[in-house]
């Protein structure tokens, strides 16, 4: 399996090209990938019996490309089927650390890279599947949002990283199958990026696009900002799909324990998340209580100021009324001075009235803000109570899972002890069987001896009988 291309004595341009493509993509050109139920089978092309009809040689580039397409299609079938089954058994949202999901993206990357044309740049030749994926937004307007999001990500510096991010966002949007079908149907656009016998230009690409519809039943969530998509190595892990007879025997017994452990880890993670949310809500409640206390103090100060302004306005009214009465009773020469004083008093009264209106508006604003704060506090208290109830329920579930885990461990120990006792009993029975077989052999030997003695006695008796006569 170490040599991925057929050995040749003399390097030719064709074999050099094939060797370079195999080194870049790891397609197992010397092997044919097929499916045996749910498992992967690898058969050497040299071991496959050929029909008498003339077939293309293994060194033919078209034959190798067709074999690569078939291998990639079978790998995509296994990857998609395994991902859907494991995701449904897991029963939760998948993240970027989930191994079957990582292998699915690796297989998709190899499918998109198959038969890519090399683009010549000032840095040399470059092969990237980001160019074909950029065409999707012209065919499906909904994909424009994904393309814009990928271009806005600050950590992506290479076209390969952008293509990987696009695949993840399309899977999160549950539109990967729709986008791939729209792209494959436009082969006149793909011919600019792919060779004529590439996977995306042939029937295998349409089959893979149809298989992607099944991924709409799973939920995935990725955090692109902290993930290094530029420098990841895309190597297919065939060990996930190769059948191992020894490990498959105990897989059914360990499946339930593995599922319980996964649920336990998920509940613990959710518990930590809820604790962090409760802490954040508690901090917000404390901040709102402090703000409410401050607003209450400001409201008391504003009320005191309003009372002071009301008293001052009453005093100004009394002074103005007194000045009017005195101006009517006093001499005419004093009326001018009193009129000026009255004008000033009215001006002062107008200013105080305007100030009072401003204070009342500010007071109304503070009251409305206080009411909003009280409503927000009530909503937060209700949310905290709901979170606490959910936390209690999750802790109860966690305790139940732990008890179930202990029970399964005890049953496993009991079954191991029973197997050991049965093996000991079996060995004892074998020993007794061997002893009984040896006894039977002895009895058979003694029976043969007795038969011989009886024959001897009969012959002796026959000899004695004539003598008596």
Tell which of 401, 419, 442 closes a domain. Answer: 401
pLDDT at residue 50, rounded to an integer: 38
Q: How far apart are the first and last CA of the chain?
A: 95
The answer to whether residue 231 sits within a structural domain is yes
182 or 267, higher pLDDT: 182
pLDDT at residue 9, rounded to an integer: 41
Are 113 and 231 found together in one domain? yes
Are 153 and 272 found together in one domain? no
Are 239 and 272 found together in one domain? no
CA-nearest of 204, 194, 199, 23 to 116 is 194
Euclidean distance between CA atoms 330 and 343, whole angstroms = 18
pLDDT at residue 25, rounded to an integer: 39
pLDDT at residue 24, rounded to an integer: 41
pLDDT at residue 12, rounded to an integer: 43
Are 238 and 312 found together in one domain? no
pLDDT in tens, 213-265: 888 888 888 877 767 787 777 677 766 666 544 444 455 556 666 667 666 67
Quick check: 206 pLDDT over 60?
Answer: yes
Average pLDDT, the chain: 77
Domain tally, the chain: 2
203 or 20, higher pLDDT: 203
CATH of the domain at 128: 1.20.58.900
High-pLDDT (> 70) share of the chain, %:
75
Quick check: 355 pLDDT over 70?
Answer: yes
Quick check: 284 pLDDT over 50?
Answer: yes
The answer to whether residue 467 sits within a structural domain is no
When pLDDT is cut at 50, 70 and 90, the band that residue 432 belongs to is very high
Q: Are strands 119-121 and 124-126 parallel, antiparallel or unpaired?
A: antiparallel
Quick check: 466 pLDDT over 90?
Answer: no
pLDDT in tens, 297-345: 888 888 888 888 888 888 888 877 777 777 666 555 555 666 677 788 7
The answer to whether residue 439 sits within a structural domain is no
Are 160 and 235 found together in one domain? yes
- Tell me the C-alpha to C-alpha distance, in Å, between residue 382 and each of 54, 375, 376, 387: 78, 11, 10, 9
pLDDT at residue 18, rounded to an integer: 40
297 or 61, higher pLDDT: 297
Residues 273-288, mean pLDDT to the nearest whole number: 82
pLDDT at residue 438, rounded to an integer: 92
Helices (H), 26-98: 61-90
Q: In terms of residue numbers, what domain contains 145?
A: 13-243
Are 48 and 155 found together in one domain? yes
The answer to whether residue 435 sits within a structural domain is no
pLDDT at residue 59, rounded to an integer: 57
Are 313 and 174 found together in one domain? no
The answer to whether residue 452 sits within a structural domain is no
Are 374 and 275 found together in one domain? yes
pLDDT at residue 328, rounded to an integer: 65
The answer to whether residue 159 sits within a structural domain is yes
Torsion-angle region of residue 41: left (phi > 0), alpha (psi -120 to 50) or beta?
Answer: beta
Tell which of 376, 401, 426 closes a domain. Answer: 401
Query: Tokens in use for 211?
Result: 């298989």
Euclidean distance between CA atoms 100 and 107, whole angstroms = 11
pTM of the complete model = 0.45
High-pLDDT (> 90) share of the chain, %:
9
Quick check: 38 pLDDT over 50?
Answer: no
Least confident of 238-247, 347-356, 358-367, 414-423: 238-247
Euclidean distance between CA atoms 334 and 386, whole angstroms = 77
Tell which of 360, 381, 401 closes a domain. Answer: 401
The answer to whether residue 420 sits within a structural domain is no
Are 90 and 198 found together in one domain? yes
Angle between helices 61-90 and 99-113 (to 10 degrees): 160
pLDDT at residue 372, rounded to an integer: 86
Are 291 and 391 found together in one domain? yes
Are 86 and 204 found together in one domain? yes
pLDDT at residue 32, rounded to an integer: 53
The answer to whether residue 2 sits within a structural domain is no
pLDDT at residue 262, rounded to an integer: 67
pLDDT at residue 431, rounded to an integer: 92
CA-nearest of 127, 169, 278, 161 to 229 is 161
Q: Write the secondary structure of the chain as one string of H (helix), E (strand) and C (coil).
A: CCCCCCCCCCCCHHHHHHHHHHHHHCCCCCEEEEEECCEEEEEEHHHCCCCCCCCCCCCCHHHHHHHHHHHHHHHHHHHHHHHHHHHHHHCCCECCCCHHHHHHHHHHHHHHHCCECCEEECCEEECCCHHHHHCHHHHCHHHHHHHHHHHHCCCCCCHHHHHHHHHHHHHHCCCHHHHHHHHHCCHHHHCCCECCCCHHHCHHHHHHHHHHHHHHHCCECCCCCCCCCCCCCCCCCHHHCECCHHHHHCHHHHHHHHHHHHHHHHHHHHHHHHHHHHHHHHHHHHHHHHHHHHHHHHHHHHHHHHHHHHHHHHHHHHHHHHHHHHHHHCCHHHHHHHHHHHHHHHHHHHHHHHHHHHHHHHHHHHHHHHHHHHHHHHHHHHHHHHHHHHHHHHHHHHHHHHHHHHHHHHHHHHHHHHHHHHHHHHHHHHHHHHHHHHHHHHHHHHHHHHHHHHHHHHHHHHHHHHHHC
Are 141 and 278 found together in one domain? no
When pLDDT is cut at 50, 70 and 90, the band that residue 54 belongs to is very low
CATH of the domain at 385: 1.10.287.1490
């Amino acid at each position: 399996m170490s040599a991925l291309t057929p050995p040749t004595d003399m390097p030719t341009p064709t074999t050099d090209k094939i060797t370079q493509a195999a080194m870049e993509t790891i397609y197992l050109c010397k092997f044919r990938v097929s499916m045996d139920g749910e498992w992967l089978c690898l058969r050497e092309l040299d071991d496959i019996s050929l029909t008498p009809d003339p077939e293309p040689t293994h060194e033919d580039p078209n034959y190798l490309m067709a074999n690569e397409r078939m291998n990639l299609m079978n790998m995509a079938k296994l990857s998609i089927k395994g991902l859907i089954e494991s995701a449904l058994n897991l029963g939760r949202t998948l993240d970027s650390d989930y191994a079957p999901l990582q292998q699915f993206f690796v297989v998709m990357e190899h499918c998109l890279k198959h038969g890519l044309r090399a683009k010549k740049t000032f840095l040399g030749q470059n092969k990237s599947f980001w160019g074909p994926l950029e065409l999707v937004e012209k065919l499906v307007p909904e994909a424009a949002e994904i393309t814009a999001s990928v271009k806005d990500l600050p950590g992506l510096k290479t076209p390969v990283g952008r293509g990987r991010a696009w695949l993840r966002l399309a899977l999160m949007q549950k539109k990967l199958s729709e986008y791939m079908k729209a792209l494959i149907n436009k082969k006149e656009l793909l011919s600019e990026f792919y060779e004529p016998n590439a996977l995306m230009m042939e029937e295998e690409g349409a089959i893979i696009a149809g298989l992607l519809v099944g991924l709409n039943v799973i939920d995935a969530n990725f955090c692109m900002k902290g993930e290094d998509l530029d420098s990841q190595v895309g190597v297919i892990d065939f060990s996930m799909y190769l059948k191992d007879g020894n490990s498959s025997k105990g897989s059914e017994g360990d499946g339930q324990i593995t599922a319980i452990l996964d649920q336990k880890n998920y509940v613990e993670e959710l518990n930590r998340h809820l604790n962090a949310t409760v802490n954040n809500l508690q901090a917000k409640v404390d901040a709102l209580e402090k703000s409410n206390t401050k607003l209450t103090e400001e409201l008391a100060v504003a009320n005191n100021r309003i009372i002071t302004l009301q008293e001052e306005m009453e005093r100004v009214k009394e002074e103005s009324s007194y000045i009017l009465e005195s101006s009517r009773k006093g001499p005419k020469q004093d009326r001018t001075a009193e009129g000026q004083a009255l004008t000033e008093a009215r001006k002062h009264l107008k200013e105080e009235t305007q100030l009072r209106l401003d204070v009342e508006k500010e007071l109304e604003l503070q009251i409305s803000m206080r009411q909003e704060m009280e409503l927000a506090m009530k909503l937060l208290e209700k949310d905290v109570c709901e979170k606490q109830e959910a936390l209690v329920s999750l802790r109860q579930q966690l305790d139940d899972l732990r008890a179930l885990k202990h029970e399964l461990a005890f049953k496993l120990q009991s079954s191991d002890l029973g197997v050991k006792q049965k093996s000991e009993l079996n060995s004892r029975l074998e020993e007794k069987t061997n002893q009984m077989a040896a006894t039977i052999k002895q009895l058979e030997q003694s029976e043969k001896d007795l038969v011989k003695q009886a024959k001897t006695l009969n012959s002796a008796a026959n000899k004695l009988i004539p003598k008596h006569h």
